[in-house]
């Protein structure tokens, strides 16, 4: 099984895949064994639409989804160990076989203090280098794209937790199990046989459907009509350009005298004569450098202007309406994709805050809970895995907070330096020093830091030569207010 999937992943373009949470309420077993239509659960219609959904990743759909993918893919992933007594007791019972599989347990904490963050863990190593085809950034980016396009995404973790792959949603045919997901049926392109992957080896992301406990909601599907209409508008414009006639001028051929016919007869030119005449006029008058009066000879009787601009089927109002519907379905503002700027800097900050709070961070929370639910048991359980939430970067707000904290002596020099736009690194000369507040009444912390740097240098020289021992105690600097 692993070899077949690995070969398929190697030969296919990296894409997107699908999943959802287990339902284990024994009291509702008969109900959950059947879908909303009353038919036994197995294949999902939303999974059958996956290929067309993935193929729609272009135009305004791509523009709307890309900012979401970029934001989440840039966020760090954290791993923490549950340290509550309740969690520890549960995992001890689990090891003794006295509890159901950890994949059906929901371990929740009451506060951040219940989880001890880990700087090093095999989960972090796996996510940092998931497989030979993708980087950590690419894995998260494609996963978020799949969630927005298909409503689902699947991570397949190989035996031994050596590799993690994002399976394209279009490869998944359905699942087995009545009240919970027991396995997933996967069929890569070019493979005639279906591969069953146990749910214990899958990390299952899904935007839940309120009408189907096994299903999911695809943001793309909610805007399907707008996406189709927008594609039709583009096709109609393209057809207008390809099929339209955009000649700027018409050359009127003069009538030739014919015996017995009043007014003469306008001759019919052959295709060769048409081309010769057009080439002659272009050679003589085409371009700004040849902006001379047009001289009509006996052959050409008149020149008529047909139009000053090519005809275009614009659909401007309809196109703008379709764009708005698509962007709103994904929760992305036009401003975020290079559209019209908001009226002010404050409006820009509010637009970004709304985008993070209503679009990005809800997806981050869903992904974090899914990783904790499905990935943690593969590494023995007891872990909380999360993607760091996004915070809007408002420069004015940061300055206001820095001012408030410094006025109350609650901001260290290191923290103040990190807020600067100059990329200032930490300097041990300012360790444990606060900015502002009571500190300013004794000695400016910047001056104190410089003094410490000089004292350290002199002390080093004194230790080497023994000749500067009397200099060090007397070396001080005056503060900004005259204090020493």
Q: How far apart are CA 249 and CA 244, in angstroms?
A: 15
Is residue 28 over pLDDT 60?
A: no
Kindly report the number of other CB atoms within 10 A of residue 62's CB atom.
14
- pLDDT for 211 equals 84
pLDDT digits (tens, 9 = 90+) for 338-396: 766 656 666 777 888 899 999 999 999 999 999 999 999 999 888 999 999 998 877 77
Number of separate domains in the chain: 3
Q: CB pairs under 8 A, 24+ apart, for 178-182?
A: 178/29, 178/32, 178/33, 178/40, 178/41, 179/23, 179/24, 179/25, 179/26, 179/28, 179/29, 179/32, 179/33, 180/22, 180/23, 180/24, 180/104, 181/19, 181/20, 181/22, 181/214
Highest mean pLDDT among 120-129, 289-298, 397-406, 474-483: 120-129
- Please tell me the pTM assigned to this model: 0.66
Asked whether residue 103 falls in the same domain as residue 217, the answer is yes
Is residue 24 over pLDDT 70?
A: no
Asked whether residue 143 falls in the same domain as residue 48, the answer is yes
Is residue 162 over pLDDT 70?
A: yes
- pLDDT for 267 equals 80
Asked whether residue 382 falls in the same domain as residue 437, the answer is no
* 156 Cβ contact list (under 8 Å, min separation 6): 5, 164, 165, 166, 167, 197, 201, 202
Q: How far apart are CA 23 and CA 29, in angstroms?
A: 9
Domain span holding position 282:
247-305
**Residue 347 falls inside a structural domain:** no
- pLDDT for 19 equals 35
Identify the domain boundary among 338, 370, 387.
387
- pLDDT for 406 equals 76
**Residue 342 falls inside a structural domain:** no
Higher pLDDT, 52 or 436: 52
Average pLDDT over residues 221-241: 83
pLDDT digits (tens, 9 = 90+) for 244-254: 666 677 777 77
- 3-state SS class at 87: helix
Reported as a pLDDT band with limits 50, 70 and 90, residue 100 is low
Is residue 264 over pLDDT 70?
A: yes
Q: How far apart are CA 218 and CA 224, in angstroms?
A: 10
- pLDDT for 105 equals 45
**What six digits make up the tokens of 189?**
């392109």
Is residue 144 over pLDDT 90?
A: yes
**Residue 316 falls inside a structural domain:** no
Asked whether residue 362 falls in the same domain as residue 410, the answer is no
- pLDDT for 285 equals 73
Higher pLDDT, 481 or 215: 215
Is residue 217 over pLDDT 70?
A: yes
Reported as a pLDDT band with limits 50, 70 and 90, residue 321 is confident
Poorest-pLDDT segment among 8-12, 47-51, 326-330, 430-434: 8-12
Kindly report the number of other CB atoms within 10 A of residue 133's CB atom.
16
Average pLDDT over residues 153-169: 94
- pLDDT for 365 equals 96
Q: How far apart are CA 224 and CA 221, in angstroms?
A: 5
Mean pLDDT of the chain: 75
Angle at alpha carbon of residue 72, lines to 68 and 74, rounded to 5°? 120
**Residue 336 falls inside a structural domain:** no
Q: How far apart are CA 139 and CA 131, in angstroms?
A: 9
- pLDDT for 302 equals 74
Asked whether residue 375 falls in the same domain as residue 401, the answer is no
Is residue 482 over pLDDT 90?
A: no
- pLDDT for 178 equals 72
- pLDDT for 306 equals 66
Identify the domain boundary among 278, 305, 332.
305
Q: How far apart are CA 408 and CA 437, in angstroms?
A: 5
Short-list 398, 393, 387, CA closest to 349:
393
The strand pair at 152-157 and 172-176 is best described as unpaired
- pLDDT for 413 equals 77
Q: How far is CA 218 from CA 45, 54, 65, 228, 302, in A?
A: 12, 11, 12, 15, 61
Q: How far apart are CA 167 and CA 14, in angstroms?
A: 8
- pLDDT for 295 equals 65
- pLDDT for 166 equals 95
Reported as a pLDDT band with limits 50, 70 and 90, residue 298 is low
**Residue 319 falls inside a structural domain:** no
How much of the chain, in percent, has pLDDT values that exceed 70? Answer: 64
Asked whether residue 423 falls in the same domain as residue 366, the answer is no
**What six digits make up the tokens of 15?**
């894409």
Is residue 311 over pLDDT 70?
A: no
Q: How far apart are CA 357 and CA 336, in angstroms?
A: 14
**What six digits make up the tokens of 252?**
């009127």
Reported as a pLDDT band with limits 50, 70 and 90, residue 475 is very low
Is residue 180 over pLDDT 90?
A: no
Asked whether residue 292 falls in the same domain as residue 436, the answer is no
Q: How far apart are CA 322 and CA 223, in angstroms?
A: 9
Asked whether residue 260 falls in the same domain as residue 216, the answer is no
Q: How far apart are CA 428 and CA 449, in angstroms?
A: 9
Asked whether residue 278 falls in the same domain as residue 377, the answer is no
Asked whether residue 69 falls in the same domain as residue 156, the answer is yes
- pLDDT for 26 equals 35
**Residue 438 falls inside a structural domain:** yes
- pLDDT for 472 equals 45
Q: How far apart are CA 60 and CA 153, in angstroms?
A: 21
**Residue 58 falls inside a structural domain:** yes
**Residue 335 falls inside a structural domain:** no
Asked whether residue 163 falls in the same domain as residue 207, the answer is yes
Count Cα atoms within 13 angstroms, Cβ side, for 484. 4
Poorest-pLDDT segment among 46-60, 135-149, 350-364: 46-60
Kindly report the number of other CB atoms within 10 A of residue 406's CB atom.
20
Higher pLDDT, 204 or 350: 204
Asked whether residue 383 falls in the same domain as residue 400, the answer is no
Is residue 309 over pLDDT 50?
A: yes
Highest mean pLDDT among 90-104, 367-381, 425-439: 367-381
Tell me the DSSP string of 177-217.
Answer: -SSS--EEEE--TT--S-EEEEGGGEEEEE-EETTEEEEE-
- 3-state SS class at 132: coil
Identify the domain boundary among 305, 336, 371.
305
Task: For 306-448, list the strands marked E by DSSP.
Answer: 383-387, 411-412, 434-435
Phi/psi of residue 198, nearest 5 degrees: -60, 145
How much of the chain, in percent, has pLDDT values that exceed 90? Answer: 26
């Amino acid at each position: 099984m692993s070899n077949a999937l690995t070969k398929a992943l190697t030969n296919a373009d990296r894409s997107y895949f699908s999943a959802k949470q287990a339902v284990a309420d024994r009291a509702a077993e008969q109900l959950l064994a059947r879908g909303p239509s009353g038919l036994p659960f197995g294949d999902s219609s939303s999974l059958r639409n996956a290929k067309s959904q993935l193929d729609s990743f272009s135009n305004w759909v791509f523009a709307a989804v890309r900012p979401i993918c970029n934001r989440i893919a840039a966020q760090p992933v954290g791993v923490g160990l549950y340290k509550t007594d309740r969690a520890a007791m549960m995992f001890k019972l689990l090891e003794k076989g006295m509890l159901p599989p950890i994949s059906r347990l929901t371990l929740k904490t009451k506060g951040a203090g219940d989880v001890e963050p880990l700087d090093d863990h095999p989960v972090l190593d796996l996510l940092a280098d998931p497989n030979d085809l993708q980087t950590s950034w690419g894995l998260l980016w494609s996963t978020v794209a799949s969630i927005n396009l298909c409503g689902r995404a699947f991570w397949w973790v190989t035996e031994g937790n050596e590799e993690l792959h994002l399976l394209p949603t279009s490869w998944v045919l359905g699942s087995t199990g009545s009240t919970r997901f027991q396995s997933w049926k996967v069929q890569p392109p070019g493979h005639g046989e279906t591969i069953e992957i146990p749910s214990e080896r899958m990390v299952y992301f899904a935007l839940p459907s309120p009408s189907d406990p096994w299903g999911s909601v695809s943001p793309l599907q909610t805007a399907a009509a707008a996406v189709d209409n927008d594609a039709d508008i583009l096709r109609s414009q393209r057809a207008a350009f390809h099929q339209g006639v955009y000649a700027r001028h018409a050359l009127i051929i003069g009538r030739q005298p014919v015996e017995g016919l009043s007014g003469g007869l306008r001759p019919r030119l052959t295709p060769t004569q048409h081309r010769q005449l057009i080439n002659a006029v272009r050679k003589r008058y085409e371009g700004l450098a040849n902006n001379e009066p047009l001289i009509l000879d006996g052959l050409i009787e008149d020149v008529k202007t047909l139009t000053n601009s090519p005809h275009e089927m614009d659909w401007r109002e309809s196109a703008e309406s379709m764009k708005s519907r698509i962007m709103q379905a994904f929760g992305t503002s036009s401003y975020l994709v290079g559209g019209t700027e908001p009226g002010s800097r404050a409006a820009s900050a509010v637009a970004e805050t709304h985008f993070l709070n209503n679009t990005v961070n809800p997806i981050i929370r869903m992904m974090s809970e899914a990783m904790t639910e499905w990935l943690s048991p593969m590494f023995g359980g007891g872990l909380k895995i999360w993607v760091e939430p996004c915070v809007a970067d408002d420069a004015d707000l940061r300055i206001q907070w820095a001012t408030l904290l410094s006025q109350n002596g609650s901001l260290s020099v290191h923290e103040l330096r990190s807020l600067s736009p100059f990329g200032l690194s930490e300097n041990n000369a300012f360790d444990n020093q606060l900015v502002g507040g009571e500190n300013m009444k004794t000695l400016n912390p910047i001056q104190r830091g410089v003094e410490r740097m000089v004292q350290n240098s002199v002390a080093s020289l004194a230790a080497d030569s023994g000749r500067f021992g009397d200099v060090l105690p007397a070396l001080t600097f005056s503060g900004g207010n005259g204090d020493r």
